[in-house]
Amino acid sequence: MKTLRKKLLGKASAKKPLRKASAKAQSAMEYLMTYGWAILIISVVLAALFQLGVFNPMSFAPKAPPGSCQVFRPNGPGTTSFINLEGICSGELPQYVAQFNGAFGSGYNYVITPSDTVPFGISSQSLSMWFELFSTSGNDHNQSFVTAKDCGYYVPFGVYNGMLFGSFWGAPTMVGPTLSTNTWYFVALTYNQQDQTEKLYLNGNLVGEDTGISGLWDGCSGYVQLGAGYTGGQCITPSYCNINTANLDGYAANLQFYNTSLSANEIQALYLEGIGGAPIDLQHLVVWWPLGNANDYSGNGNNGQIMGNVNFVSNWYSGYTPP
């Protein structure tokens, strides 16, 4: 009898762990049924916030407001004696960048200096800027970023069939790599009057070169325009209207215009400064638009005028990777 009782008690005690395991499993299922939807919703919200860049480390990086760094010219605009940078000029991320909507026709939007007030002179030239594209197409699959008018009209930067193009002399003879959307790029274009050579750079690297170009800058005063290849609804480069027919669809920042040909090392240094970098040659700087607004911080007073719906936005850095 004792042996039989022990066997029965042993079987009963063996069932206890099974009951406990079953109870735990049931409790876990009840927990998932009760809180599962909440956990799923929280996960979706966190994923959305991550996608929007809320958890991007650059969200917490210091941001420089417009005008925090500028050129001081003690003797007034256009002078070059005793000039220097003043303010926070350590290359901090800009607080704002300019946003253009890529509109065509009557809806175009851009920033432009007052007509024919920029003294280009008869020297070499350089132009640089940062940009991000929302699309790589547009009317006729192209976009024009910048226009410069001296005695003639020039469209230094744009994208055609998804590829970067650049030229100071009116024709997109230099075609660079295919561009991606939602990615920040640094682009620069130089023209050397002495050797009659144009050079196109992307992210500090030479991607195009054209030689034998003469008589480009004739010493007229003109203007710089950002965001569109049109002015007043007319094609400013008639023989290339099929190229210059759409406007920038994306962001732009830190446009710098010089009346000298910057060297390859200087272009590389500008790129490595990042999107908030200060000008590298103050003596030859003509226009500097960081683009937290339309003001010129070169000390030369070449403030821009906003035409159309140009916005200045703060949540711009999701596609930016520091050099």
Which tens digit of pLDDT belongs to each residue from 271-291? 999 999 999 999 999 999 999
Predicted TM-score (pTM) of this structure: 0.78
- Integer CA distances (angstroms), 242 to 160, 224, 232, in order: 10, 21, 17
Residue 13 backbone phi and psi in degrees, to 5: -70, -30
Beta bridge partners of 302: none
Cα–Cα distance, 323 to 314 (Å, whole number): 20
Mean pLDDT for 86-99 is 93
CA 69 to chain centroid: 19
State the DSSP code for 278: P
**Domain ranges (residues) in the chain:** 1-51, 60-319
Say whether pLDDT at 133 is over 80: yes
pLDDT band per the 50, 70, 90 thresholds, residue 112: confident
State the DSSP code for 236: S
Q: Does domain 60-319 have CATH number 1.10.540.10?
A: no
Is-contact 310 109, C-beta < 8 A?
A: yes
Say whether pLDDT at 270 is over 80: yes
Say whether pLDDT at 212 is over 90: no
Residue 289 backbone phi and psi in degrees, to 5: -110, 100
